[in-house]
Amino acid sequence: MNLPAGMRRLSATLGGKRVPSSDQVVQRVTTQASRRRMQLGIELERERDRANMTQTRVGSALGCTQSKINKIEHGAVAVSAKDLATLLRIYDTSDERRQRIMLLAAQATAGPSAGAPANREYLKLLSLEREAAEVLAFHGLRFPNLLQSEHYLLTQYKRAGELHDVNAILQARREREELFRLPQPPRCRVIIGLAAFYYMPGGRSPGLAVDQIEHLLSMSERYPDHLFFHLLPLHPDLPFVPHDHVILRFDDATQDRVYSEYGAGESRIYTGKEQVKSHLGYWQAVRKEALDVDESQIYLRKLISEVPTW
């Protein structure tokens, strides 16, 4: 069987991997369905916002209560095919978005109490970034999901004791990278702290660090017009190093958002004008302390030869 490079490297460290029980398989399926249902709710909420309609008004048009619309948008209940078709007609959804929503609906069919709750704010980020004109991000001690190599990604799951379904994990990763293959992908400019190369999942790992560096360089070659990364040195001249965050900028500046992560899976999206402005100002201050794109790539290529001596 031909496995991706990251999987081959990781398989050597897994040892006697147990075959998942039927209960574990069912749990994984329902958890994936829960995630898709939440994504579906987020997309429907955005369609309602585009149509400039309240939940109460939509409920009236659908012949149900505002509470049901709220539950659908938060993934708490399933939406029937008939109701979904009515909602998309009410919202005058475009053909492209309709296809995406229908696919999510087809994948969110594991029952009303499907699986563990997903991080709704993160799933909302995935939806928002597909329509952003520019994505500005900062990550200090780890690599963002969008830029993680297979080896790095799978090692995280392994160290967390959650490496049950490799195919599902890698499929989600491939879906995330589709961001760069959209008809009009956003320009993504990412600042990564140099410390992230030392804080590998599970501790010091030169091999994993080299794999991640090679992946970053490869991605920059694949998407030269849409992905730009900058390295932040270990001792920047800053009052403080900020927490991980993403600034989403749109053609309509009133739609700009800030996505902040606080650790342990906690996150929040801010929409206030002043909050966006302050985050953008500090991101720009951090950018001044970071290396340029070309300097960052030169540094990483040099780092590849140095990492094995750590």
In a shared domain, residues 162 and 216? yes
Residue 17 lies in a domain: no
Q: What is the 3-state secondary structure (H, E, C) of 182-198?
A: CCCCCEEEEEEEHHHHC
pLDDT of residue 19: 42
In a shared domain, residues 287 and 230? yes
| CATH number of the domain enclosing 306 | 3.30.870
In a shared domain, residues 99 and 212? no
pLDDT of residue 92: 93
In a shared domain, residues 206 and 249? yes
Query: Which whole-number Å values give the CA distances from 162 to 97, 166, 202, in the listed order?
Result: 32, 10, 14
As averages over each run of 10 residues, the pLDDT of the chain (310 residues) reads 44 44 42 78 92 94 92 85 90 88 74 45 86 96 92 91 79 86 95 93 91 96 96 95 95 94 79 94 97 97 88
Residue 37 lies in a domain: yes
In a shared domain, residues 79 and 162? no
Domain holding 200, by residue range, is 119-310
Residue 209 lies in a domain: yes
In a shared domain, residues 82 and 225? no
pLDDT of residue 257: 96
Cα–Cα distance, 179 to 172 (Å, whole number): 12
Total domains, the chain: 2
In a shared domain, residues 27 and 166? no
Centre a 10 Å sphere on the Cβ of residue 224 and count the other Cβ atoms it contains.
10
In a shared domain, residues 123 and 81? no
DSSP-derived pairing of the beta strands 266-270 and 257-263? antiparallel
DSSP string for residues in 32-45: HHHHHHHHHHHHHH
Residue 84 lies in a domain: yes
| Domain final residue pick, 101, 118, 135 | 118
Residue 1 lies in a domain: no
Stated as kind and residue range, the H or E segment containing 135 is: strand 134-139
Residue 7 lies in a domain: no
Lookup: tokens for 74: 């938060």
Q: For 243, which DSSP code?
A: P
Cα–Cα distance, 191 to 293 (Å, whole number): 10
Cα–Cα distance, 261 to 270 (Å, whole number): 11
Here the contacts of 157-161 (C-beta below 8 Å, separation 24 or greater) are 158/10, 158/13, 158/14, 158/201, 158/202, 159/201, 159/202
| Domain final residue pick, 95, 118, 141 | 118
pLDDT of residue 24: 44
In a shared domain, residues 162 and 145? yes
| CATH number of the domain enclosing 113 | 1.10.260.40
In a shared domain, residues 127 and 96? no
In a shared domain, residues 184 and 279? yes
Residue 149 lies in a domain: yes
- Spatial contact of 246 and 258, defined as CB atoms under 8 Å apart: yes
| Domain final residue pick, 94, 118, 142 | 118
In a shared domain, residues 61 and 151? no
